[in-house]
Amino acid sequence: MTFEEIKKNLSGKVVGIAGAGGLGSNCAVALARTGLGKLIIADFDIVSEGNLNRQYYFRKQIGQKKVKALKENIIAINPEVEVDSYDIKLDYDSIVTLFTDCDVIVEAFDLAEMKKMIIEAVLSELPDKPLVTGLGMAGWGDNNSVKFRKEGNLYICGDEKSEISEDNPPLAPRVGIVANMQANVVLEILLGRG
């Protein structure tokens, strides 16, 4: 497929992004660059200085709502992408309502508890919907531990072992690897194998 054909194929597709932090912001930008038709992004947080070590925001956006800032950044890269942004803290019911018409959902939360919630919500209420999750990306190095596997309609990206902590923070390279891996899986689901 040429890039023109890829863009044409993706122009009618909708992807939901649950969380606009390190995974969500980088994954959304990668999909926007590739020519996805529409993104539905939800997050309740604001951009803080600590986010700039890995999230797709700029210093001047500190204090802004993440969903507003991310929409601005996406439009600045590719104005053709339609971005629906929701400034809400997602829960079980709103995940189901907001993402029901998406072709694929990307799990981009930071807390394990929230990851569990969205996986259970989608598996129970939207069982046919592909869900791409990011599990394990703290620290640096160890490229070969980052992997991908499919478990039914759940697509898992990450090392599945490194938990963030004070001494093992999330950093741009590994978070970016997993976020882009998620975007790559979304493309494979939407376009078929390359």
- List residues binding other proteins (CB under 8 A): 19, 21-24, 108-113, 115-116, 119-120, 123-124, 134-138, 149, 151-152, 154, 156, 158, 160-164, 170, 175
**Do the bridges between strand 14-18 and strand 147-151 make them parallel or antiparallel, or are there none, so unpaired?**
unpaired
30 or 164: CB nearest other proteins = 164
CA gyration radius, the chain: 15
**Shortest reach from residue 126's CB to other proteins, in Å:** 12
**Shortest reach from residue 61's CB to other proteins, in Å:** 19
Which candidate, 150, 157, 117, places its Cα nearest to that of 133?
157
**Shortest reach from residue 48's CB to other proteins, in Å:** 15
Contact of 57 with 70, CB cutoff 8 Å: yes
**Shortest reach from residue 24's CB to other proteins, in Å:** 7
Instruction: Provide the H-helix boundaries in 64-134.
Output: 66-77, 92-99, 112-125
96 or 119: CB nearest other proteins = 119
84 or 125: CB nearest other proteins = 125
In 3-state terms the chain splits into helix, strand, coil percentages (rounded to 5) of: 45, 20, 35
Task: Give the residues across from 83 on adjacent strands.
Answer: 39
Burial of 148: CB neighbours in 10 Å, binned 0-12, 13-18, 19+: middle
104 or 108: CB nearest other proteins = 108
CB environment 80-100: b (16+ within 10 A), e (fewer): ebebebbeeebeeeebbebbe
**Shortest reach from residue 190's CB to other proteins, in Å:** 22
10 or 67: CB nearest other proteins = 67
